[in-house]
Structure 1
């Protein structure tokens, strides 16, 4: 404060006639002390009063609120010696907060290590009290979702040393420890390889009738979008009605940063409840819990600005290098990325820490940072590698907190889908899928192809935080029921519906209506296959040069060598996935999957403006992962058939839900685990470090994870 008073002409800490150095120092001490007290006492009240203000706006108002508190502090200095204009007060408060954060870290007052120590002591006292009162308790389970991180991307990141925590769990890397403690299992998504379908299936046990990320429902005349709050609430209601169960997290559960609640009572940043207003919406309470600490608010705000600058630098570098493929990264995208990679991550991680210290039985949290960056920068490269490093640091922090929670925790890391690289359909061919459909119908086509909106999950989270309706540019929620088709995109999956007919059109009806449409689509080089329904043959898959597959005549698991075109390149699992989608009530009249190049990087062509995409079949997008500790039963059983090797494949989000349900039952019904000791993750003897006093573990813990435990930049 003294230095700033000397540098800034509009900031004064002495009377107009001048004061002695001692008097100026006392004045500065009074001003700083009052500012600190106001920050500690008044700040939480301000945040609670502004809880209904958009959360993202609250984060950006941090500096102005701090400046206001400084003005109040200066006005309380005796004899009017403190004075500043409002603009200078904002600058002074920001600099003071930044310096205080750096200084307190150096003094071990507010860094993550010191924060953990305070939490550990509290947890240790609570643990001893619970052992005396309630006896042993069963383990809790944390499900941490790395949105969009595919199995192969995770393996490559571990091999490159980008994710040392995951590497140590797998028994790899520079410090593998005593051996692997977790198993890595790939699984296959449904045809709709996107968060809406996968997370609804994982959390609620059913993703029936989710044909894509967005689709048109003829009975209601509405476009459903998985990341629209009203649609998410309706999809959750349908899943609960179908299964008769509220979800995976109904018993003492918490849902953090997800599209759906999973039946949890504790909610933060959950999209399906974000459209509610008033006390019924507890989702925004996660913002209050985080921003009520001014140190968190300032640090997140500074990291937010740094992430915006990082994106501007990275996009400029890509543009100057003329990198291909590339999409536009201007407009509001830098701020959307910063929200996903900083604000959402920090708030979710803080909420999960609170859940673990409260000893909740089941927690499911989603971190969307990688998915958002990969959509615009591609699923591989320097941009996303930096995000993977930070995800691993967040995981390391949660793992350290779990060691001293009031109950042992089993941490399961999983993803909902992967991402496939490739340029956009529009960039390669100069027209959108909608333009191609119009041409096939004999309708006029615009001379210039318009960009298709990108439906990344983080954009909806930002809109929900801003209390704005999630309506997407150029997309009507209730299209007019005209003869012109409604064309929607979901990554490399396209949907064509004719809104003037209330039932699904058959192939024969489409041919009579638009004779050139199906041949135009099927023979285009950017399209892999079409799904339509025939009056005579049932579900049909159409491809180039008259290729036609009758799905009812194919087995669910055909021999890959005998699988005919046009599904041969997509693998044998494609048959069951496409057949299942054909049975959905709201499947489109024509389902369109882009072409797929299995050689090389496994590229697809996105119908949206994304160079890392997911939503259909083809490549890494359909191969996410499940990373689980050996203390849990295997996700899939070994093949028992004669001559069979390896494990059976885990297919579909609903199967993943059943696996997670089984693990929760094992935790609830299995043998009791003493709070002072925890079974070794590798299934061997108990970990002796659990029985050591907490204070005796600090030195070794801090040396081992000194540079791995900071969840923010």
Structure 2
């Protein structure tokens, strides 16, 4: 036995002895506090004798838990979660009564109700102690999670052997832009990823669509189409429905539309698993997938979700402790930001500390456990989303110290997953990617004193809050609307004259998606033209286009098709749009993304993109976020793809990877390289493949699956 093995054995023995000692002390304390729980004979015992009795009882309880609990959990996983919660308490209490019965001379006794309480406290203390001792021991944590492997997968179904084709794990770091990743690697915040980049993996930036947010990107990546997803939120006039990408009903509908458009189930249809995503990707194994949240049935009830994860008391204690610590960390960090008077800054009170803790702790732990279970089960394709960074960067900033700390913890999760992959029954290719980045900047409201909705209403001559009306932007918009309306009615300007009321039912719907906003007039059944808007609201488009916080507008025109409007009365037909003119600051490809969105059936009456300052990289979000994404401008449109070198290059001849749909084609090609022809080429025709992307035939000269030398 080598020195390392002796060290591990010694560490494990030390943890067992320490947990036993703490459990014994806990039992002694409970016996002193609870009148119906005793560890002494009726005649009384010495302190030494009582301590020995406690040690005996604690040891018997711990041993019974180790032997009986795994078997009991396997059976109890078939019952509903609420019933399981009650059964766990009764099971623990029963194990304690048996442990007390095993104490020699009958010195241990407790009422059944007391036994349940004592067992619950002892289990929590033992788990907390064990977790605290093993908090830096990922091997111990990994062994605990081995139990999360899908029990329904028969051993004969799990591949193995030297000729087994490799599986592929796609791990999405939500919101981590290409530049943020480079900065984190240079600063040493992500040592695991840094060890891969440039050695075993290649780093490739890619460019998002106009709607640079998870709903559009992940739908395109997993299902091959994000057609008609103009933003994170939008209003559909034909159905009167408000679509929000992270609502279950909307996610279900978006996935249905994508499958209908492509005629294909998705990226993960061949032995796939989808974890923590908005969409399923066609996977059979699901955990925390929003589009399948209401779906029930034995066939897709994954044991790797919340239910299975928290059925292990050690996991529950570990995650609960980290949850409390993360919520406290957010409260402290928020207070420090206020004391330092950091700018830009948004409110981080209310329930946000708990929302952050859920995203950075609970969601992370459950998804990581699910992925580890998938690897140990030998699944062919796994796609998982870790949202921790995205949540923190929204409120703290994409380059903040708070966000950097989250990246450090994500790197440890990646390292843990990579270690488990080494013990999987098949080799694995690990691909890291992001769905978008984030751009920093003060919010539109904090800079100009009113929301975009207020500005739109003022430009339409509608009432606005008194505070908004007193701002320069609000006052100018209301004056412009009044003057335009009076001019249209051929009325003389009068300082005391009354304003003409706006048309009934003309209140616009203004929806923010980061620094992109969509303005719709629901009382008009079709997409309004510029001419119609000017007739109804003569000052609105001019007010918006010339506002310093707005970069450009997209609106349909009866005379010129659709047009982009910019400052200084700039107007360019979309058909003639280039990356110069009003879109010059937004960089390469901006014109094409705007042209593509303009063709969507549910493009809004007015598409509004905020200003972008390329010298500082700042945008103005139309919602309460200092790190935002959803539109054009800056790092939000530049996510990354980190892929193993022994997979074909994402692009050839210096080409650029553009759009989530093309990322889907690349990922599907890699699956086919690993698994062979059982993976379909995908929901696209050869003519649709960009010249910058190699065709499937070019990268797949043979049908035999490729067996790699490396596991990731």
TM-score (norm 1): 0.80
Q: Is the 8 A contact 1:116 1:401 kept in 2?
A: no
Partner of 1:474: none
| Post-superposition offset of 1:288 | 2.7
| Post-superposition offset of 1:494 | 0.5
Partner of 2:463: 444
Q: Is the 8 A contact 1:411 1:628 kept in 2?
A: yes
1:97 pairs with 2:120? no
Other structure's SS at 2:81 match: coil
1:163 pairs with 2:190? yes
| Post-superposition offset of 1:153 | 0.2
Q: How does 1:100-111 map to 2 (within 5 A)?
A: 100-103=130-133, 111=140
1:273 pairs with 2:292? yes
Partner of 1:181: 200
RMSD value over aligned CA atoms?
3.1
| Post-superposition offset of 1:4 | 2.9
1:349 pairs with 2:368? yes
- Pick from 306, 312, 315: which aligns with 2:325? 306
User: Any stretches of 5+ residues in structure 2 without a counterpart?
Assistant: 1-22, 470-503, 677-702
| Post-superposition offset of 1:14 | 2.5
Aligned pair count? 611
Partner of 1:462: none
Q: How does 1:66-465 map to 2 (within 5 A)?
A: 71-76=93-98, 77-78=100-101, 81-82=109-110, 91-103=121-133, 111-112=140-141, 136-171=163-198, 180-277=199-296, 279=298, 282=301, 286-448=305-467
Task: Work out the CA distance in 2 between the residues paired with 1:321 and 1:65.
Answer: 50
Partner of 1:551: 574
Other structure's SS at 1:34 match: helix
Other structure's SS at 2:466 match: coil
Q: How does 1:518-529 map to 2 (within 5 A)?
A: 518-529=541-552
Aligned pair in 2 of structure 1 residues 94, 681: CA closer, same or farther (>3 Å)?
closer
TM-score (norm 2): 0.80
Partner of 1:593: 609
Q: Is the 8 A contact 2:93 2:117 kept in 1?
A: no
| Post-superposition offset of 1:23 | 4.7
Aligned pair in 2 of structure 1 residues 363, 43: CA closer, same or farther (>3 Å)?
closer
1:517 pairs with 2:540? yes
User: Any stretches of 5+ residues in structure 1 without a counterpart?
Assistant: 172-179, 451-480, 639-646, 683-713
Task: Work out the CA distance in 2 between the residues paired with 1:146 and 1:2.
Answer: 43
Q: Is the 8 A contact 1:379 1:612 kept in 2?
A: yes
Partner of 1:711: none
1:486 pairs with 2:505? no
Task: Work out the CA distance in 1 between the residues paired with 2:148 and 2:320.
Answer: 24
1:661 pairs with 2:661? no
Q: String of CA shifts for 1:634-679, please: whole Å, max 9, x gaps.
A: 11111xxxxxxxx1111100111111111112112354456xxx42
Q: Is the 8 A contact 1:185 1:627 kept in 2?
A: yes
Task: Work out the CA distance in 2 between the residues paired with 1:207 and 1:512.
Answer: 34
Aligned pair in 2 of structure 1 residues 652, 629: CA closer, same or farther (>3 Å)?
same
Q: Is the 8 A contact 1:31 1:82 kept in 2?
A: no
1:19 pairs with 2:45? yes
Q: Is the 8 A contact 1:44 1:292 kept in 2?
A: no
Task: Work out the CA distance in 2 between the residues paired with 1:378 and 1:545.
Answer: 32
| Post-superposition offset of 1:45 | 5.5
| Post-superposition offset of 1:342 | 1.2
Task: Work out the CA distance in 1 between the residues paired with 2:134 and 2:33.
Answer: 28
Other structure's SS at 1:223 match: strand
- Pick from 619, 626, 632: which aligns with 2:641? 626
Other structure's SS at 1:111 match: helix
- Larger mean Cα displacement after TM superposition, 626-635 or 292-301: 292-301
